[in-house]
Homo-oligomer: A and B are copies of this chain.
């Protein structure tokens, strides 16, 4: 379905006119995710009207699919009772995300209004970090005791069918709820009813502890092609499971963040955000670049006399700074990507740097030689050509080092290393490049004056 501007305008008009028949008829054939996409285009009041007009289980799905900041905005018009009526129908992981966006008092009020069953599902999840396995998991799952038969297991699936939307495996536990293994639904379908689960269970099950980082969970699920992963506490007790749809969202979000970090955008923004939000997300990095530029101006100012003697030195400033920036951004991106995947065997920092240096040497040699040739051909100033090429070579080496080390340091301190690939590294390398260029010039012209 294509969401045209006309379609949205017609829908918006229907909402304003309280044309319930039209709204119900047109949303009847739609998936909740599509209705969410429409609500992104409406204001909070109209959205509330639509959500409350639809059955609460549909409203729950719609709210789960909304983006957090928009959901938060919409819900400001809702009372605690109205929120509770919908949260009652949400999966525990989505409910927790929604509640964590609310002020503490609202959260408590909603919790108090939920059924005991639903509040039990949610309660244990509220204290986990949203980005760790505990914060990503849902408590809804089907578990079976190791001493059951297949028949008993099917009854449990039937009992939970309403509650657990997607069942891939039944998790098998002992009397203390310690995870022992899993039983894929496929096996249950083809097994005999009287068969003991003990004989069928796959004990070799990949699980994660609650404290594991979301990115780690994503890497595991990708590596082993899992559609769901059980979550246990440190003693191995089964607490919940994470399904691949939430991990796909996490991967896409993280990729967006990395790309934005490299590009110098400091908030999660989209093209249809407000002008003010877009400006706010971009300005900080531009200002950092600007400060770097002013520092650079002051630095070049020191060499004003050299410049008035050899104005041609100014010609190569953009070449030097651009090369430093490009080399730095390349180096840091390679490190960022290798940090993201942990499949490669542990490499010592020294091996890493040795290799970076080798690549930098090769790149530096090629570039400075090509530039030297161009310089002789075009400008025919041998001494300046030497200065430029020596500086270029040094800048490539130094920018590679900076670009490699900075993300490693950020990562060590728990900061997203992709931040190092953005305007920060470019600005730093601009300054580095200028320093190298003018110092090399001073040295070479001191030995072989004009």
Closest to A339 in B: B271
A45 shortest CB reach to chain B, Å: 20
Contact between A161 and B188 (Cβ–Cβ < 8 Å)? no
Cβ-closest chain B residue relative to A275: B358
Tally of A interface residues using CB under 8 Å: 123
Q: Which of A82-90, A96-104, A126-134, A259-267 lies at the interface?
A: A259-267
> Chain A 334-371, CB within 8 Å of chain B: the 1/0 string?
11111001011111000010010011001100110011
Which residues of chain B are near A263, meaning CB under 8 Å?
262, 329-330, 332-333, 421
A270-B337 in contact given A225-B245, A248-B222, A345-B5 (Cβ < 8 Å): yes
Number of copies: 2
B282 and A363 within 8 A (CB) = yes
Main secondary structure of the interface of A (DSSP, over half): helix
- Min Cβ gap A314→B in Å is 4
Contact B296 A304 (CB under 8 A): no
Nearest chain B CB to A144 CB, angstrom units: 12
Q: Are A330 and B285 in contact (CB under 8 A)?
A: yes
Contact B265 A334 (CB under 8 A): yes
Q: How far is the CA of A113 from the CA of B275 in the complex (A)?
A: 62
Instruction: Identify which of residues 5-43 in chain A touch chain B, using a CB-to-CB cut-off of 8 Å.
Output: 5, 7-8, 31, 33, 37, 40-41
B338 near A315: Cβ-Cβ < 8 Å: no
Q: A258-B255, A337-B256 are in contact. Are A158 and B222 (CB under 8 A)?
A: no
Q: Is the CB of A289 within 8 A of B190?
A: no
- A380-392: CB near B (< 8 Å → 1, else 0) gives 0000000000000
In the complex with contacts A185-B189, A304-B312, A325-B426, A317-B318 CB distance below 8 A: yes
**With A157-B189, A223-B33, A318-B430 in contact, is A248–B256 under 8 Å at CB?**
no
* Contact indicator B33/A333 (Cβ below 8 Å): no
- Contact A321 B319, CB 8 Å, known A248-B222, A358-B275: no
Which 4 A-B residue pairs are closest in the complex by CB-CB distance? A293-B319, A255-B255, A263-B333, A271-B338
Q: List 28 A-B contacts (CB under 8 A).
A: A3-B346, A4-B345, A5-B346, A8-B345, A157-B189, A158-B189, A161-B186, A185-B185, A251-B255, A256-B337, A263-B330, A263-B421, A264-B329, A270-B334, A278-B359, A286-B327, A287-B367, A298-B315, A298-B378, A300-B314, A301-B312, A301-B315, A304-B315, A314-B314, A318-B434, A321-B321, A322-B325, A329-B423
